């Protein structure tokens, strides 16, 4: 029951997964990233130092943890190189404790170029990390996997074919000429790969056979899932629980004994385009952004902010079968007189209680709010339940009752030690209940 823990974003990303994964990695042997790529930005503040991890599993910051980049990820070798260099500079060795799947696909320079070009027309507001095009190539059967890098002839012909295809798109669709040289890309790819060849292996086999404790670290969030999120304003992978099996190459049955936790902010943010029913565009939105420091960890863009959307959160709870929620950034609400929570949508006079698929419905839906009284006391840095004001406890209870699952932990600040356990996790000894 307690050997596998899955941590997923329950909203539109940036819920504070990095902080939570870092904290809980203390109790796990292995941390696995299995979807997305360097579009993620997972922030950890530990021992006074700030780390933002994009591609590497967050657990890698702990010396005892093995980090796994599983097959569902798309890997940018430049970012891998930069992040590992960053670890080396901070004196964190990763020798013998980082594994990269031979089935993972590469993000190539021309994917980043295409991301920029596509973005001119789509308005999705991607992170421009080449993620969408890399998955397009994967599913279009034009992708390059790490396993292909040892076969130089095959690699060259794949790159040559890709470059010709991309040049065609640039010229014929976007009327732009780009200097893409297959030979140079081939040489540069091999050079980068040669540094990290030793990390590459069949990680599905590793995960299947190991008896170590496993923490699976989702990136993005449920509402950005390519199938179940606010399509097309989503990322290009399954960032809900749906991505676990295809992202790791393991049967859904492998996860049947895992504990599933959703990380949710006490309010809502999203970055990039797309529907956001509880968005606050005026002063209140700015206040949340300022108090929460809501600027993207990957792109620095200001995040759109709004009240907690319980319709979306309940949808995420049901979709992922969450056993519990970890609530973050409650401290950001400390100074509000009143706090609103969205309990339904009003679509042209009709009350909707389930998150709809239709963009048209979402875009025209107005939030139906309940208003709760603010607690007007600092919860920042609280470590025990008894330090929380009654208003904050009521807010948490409201969320539990609405979603039907317990809030098992509260994060009370960005730093590693700022949290309160509210319930016991099977794997973890709880001292502060
Ligand atoms: P992730 O992508 O889900 O890992 O989240 P990000 O790292 O992109 O964004 C979360 C931000 O909130 C980071 O700057 C964290 O340092 C910060 N953070 C995390 N938990 C808390 C919390 O409980 N309170 C406050 N005030 N900040 C938090
Ligand atoms: P973490 O793991 C928040 C958003 C982008 C854009 C959409 C598609 O830090 O929570 P992409 O580059 O993936 O093609 O962009 O998805 N997005 C994120 N938003 N947090 C993230 O990751 C995100 N990764 C992608 O802003 O709207
Ligand atoms: Mg982030």
Residue of minimum CA distance from atom 26 in ligand 1? 413
Q: Three-class SS string for 129-160?
A: CCHHHHHHHHHCCCCCEHHHHHCHHHHHHHHH
The answer to whether the CB of 344 falls within 8 A of the CB of 311 is: yes
pLDDT digits (tens, 9 = 90+) for 197-209: 999 999 999 999 9
Listed in sequence order, the residues at least 6 apart from 429 whose beta carbon sits closer than 8 Å to its beta carbon are none
Residue of minimum CA distance from atom 18 in ligand 1? 414
The answer to whether the CB of 255 falls within 8 A of the CB of 247 is: no
Residues in the chain: 433
Which string of b and e fits 364-375 if b means at least 16 CB within 10 Å? Answer: ebebbbeebebb
2 is catalytic: no
Q: How far is the CA of 41 from the centre of ligand 3 (A)?
A: 4
Q: Is 218 in the pocket of ligand 1 (CB under 6 A)?
A: no
pLDDT at position 363 is 94
| Ligand showing the shortest atom-to-Cα distance for residue 219 | 2
334 is catalytic: no
Across residues 174-184, what is the average pLDDT?
A: 95
Q: Is 235 in the pocket of ligand 2 (CB under 6 A)?
A: yes
Residue of minimum CA distance from atom 11 in ligand 1? 16
| Ligand showing the shortest atom-to-Cα distance for residue 36 | 2
Q: How far is the CA of 176 from the centre of ligand 3 (A)?
A: 32
Residue written as token pair 């960032």: 239
pLDDT at position 428 is 58
> Which residues are 371's β-sheet partners?
340
- Class of the CATH domain delimited by 263-421: alpha beta
pLDDT digits (tens, 9 = 90+) for 233-290: 999 999 999 999 999 999 999 999 999 999 999 999 999 999 999 999 999 999 999 9
Q: How far is the CA of 40 from the centre of ligand 2 (A)?
A: 6
pLDDT digits (tens, 9 = 90+) for 353-396: 999 999 999 999 999 999 999 999 999 999 999 999 999 999 99
| Ligand showing the shortest atom-to-Cα distance for residue 19 | 1
Q: Is 272 in the pocket of ligand 2 (CB under 6 A)?
A: yes
Q: How far is the CA of 296 from the centre of ligand 3 (A)?
A: 7
Query: What are the extents of the domains in the chain?
Result: 4-101+212-255, 105-196, 263-421
Let me know if domain 4-101+212-255 sits in CATH 3.40.440.10.
yes
Residue of minimum CA distance from atom 20 in ligand 1? 414
Best of 43, 45, 421 to mutate for ligand 1, by most ligand atoms within 8 A of CB?
43
Residue of minimum CA distance from atom 13 in ligand 1? 43
Q: How far is the CA of 237 from the centre of ligand 1 (A)?
A: 22
From 393, 370, 376, 244, select the one nearest 308 (Cα to Cα). Answer: 370
Q: How confident is the model at residue 433 (pLDDT cuts 50, 70, 90)?
A: very low
Q: Is 42 in the pocket of ligand 1 (CB under 6 A)?
A: yes
Q: Is 134 in the pocket of ligand 2 (CB under 6 A)?
A: no
The answer to whether the CB of 397 falls within 8 A of the CB of 26 is: no
Q: What's the CATH code, domain 105-196?
A: 1.10.300.10
pLDDT at position 426 is 61
Q: Which of 2, 22, 29, 42 is catalytic?
A: 42
**What angle, 0 to 180 degrees and rounded to 10, lies between the N-to-C axes of helices 390-403 and 310-320?**
50
pLDDT at position 424 is 73
- Whether pTM exceeds 0.95: yes
Q: How far is the CA of 334 from the centre of ligand 1 (A)?
A: 16
For residue 132, which atom of ligand 2 is closest to its CA?
Answer: 14
Report percent pLDDT > 90 for the chain: 94
Q: Is 127 in the pocket of ligand 1 (CB under 6 A)?
A: no
For residue 128, which atom of ligand 2 is closest to its CA?
Answer: 12
């Amino acid at each position: 029951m307690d050997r596998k823990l899955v941590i997923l974003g329950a909203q539109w990303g940036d819920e504070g997964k990095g902080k939570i994964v870092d904290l809980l990695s203390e109790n796990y042997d292995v941390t696995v990233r299995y979807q997305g790529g360097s579009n993620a930005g997972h922030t950890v503040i530990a021992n006074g130092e700030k780390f933002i991890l994009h591609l590497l599993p967050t657990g890698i910051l702990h010396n005892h943890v093995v980090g796994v980049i599983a097959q569902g990820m798309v890997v940018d070798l430049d970012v891998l190189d930069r992040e590992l260099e960053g670890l080396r500079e901070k004196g964190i060795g990763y020798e013998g404790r980082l594994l990269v799947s031979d089935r993972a696909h590469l993000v190539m320079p021309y994917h980043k170029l295409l991301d920029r070009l596509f973005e001119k027309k789509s308005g999705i507001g991607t992170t421009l990390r080449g993620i969408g095009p890399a998955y397009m190539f994967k599913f279009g059967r034009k992708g390059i996997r790490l396993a292909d890098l040892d076969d130089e002839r095959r690699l060259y012909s794949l790159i040559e074919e890709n470059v010709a295809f991309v040049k065609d798109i640039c010229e014929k669709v976007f009327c732009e000429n780009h200097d893409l040289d297959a030979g140079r890309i081939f040489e540069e790819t091999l050079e980068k790969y040669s540094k990290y060849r030793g990390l590459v292996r069949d990680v599905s086999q590793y995960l299947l056979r190991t008896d170590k404790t496993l923490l699976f670290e989702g990136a993005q969030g449920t509402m950005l899932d390519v199938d179940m999120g606010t399509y097309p304003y989503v990322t290009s992978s399954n960032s809900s629980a749906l991505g676990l099996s295809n992202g790791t190459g393991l049967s859904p049955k492998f996860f049947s004994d895992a504990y599933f936790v959703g990380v949710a902010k006490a309010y809502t943010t999203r970055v990039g385009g797309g529907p956001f029913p509880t968005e606050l565009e005026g002063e209140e939105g700015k206040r949340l952004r300022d108090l929460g420091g809501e600027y993207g960890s990957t792109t620095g863009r200001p995040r759109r902010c709004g009240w907690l959307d319980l319709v979306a959160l309940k949808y995420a709870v049901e979709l992922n079968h969450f056993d519990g929620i970890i609530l973050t950034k409650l401290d950001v609400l400390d100074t509000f007189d009143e706090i609103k929570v969205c309990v339904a949508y009003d679509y042209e006079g009709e009350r909707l209680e389930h998150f709809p698929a239709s963009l048209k419905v979402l875009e025209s839906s107005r939030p139906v709010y309940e208003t709760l009284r603010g607690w007007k006391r600092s919860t920042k840095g609280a470590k025990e339940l008894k330090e929380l004001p009654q208003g904050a406890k009521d807010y948490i209870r409201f969320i539990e009752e609405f979603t039907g699952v317990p809030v098992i932990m509260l994060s009370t600040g960005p730093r590693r030690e700022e949290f309160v356990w509210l319930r016991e996790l099977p794997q973890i000894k709880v001292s502060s209940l």
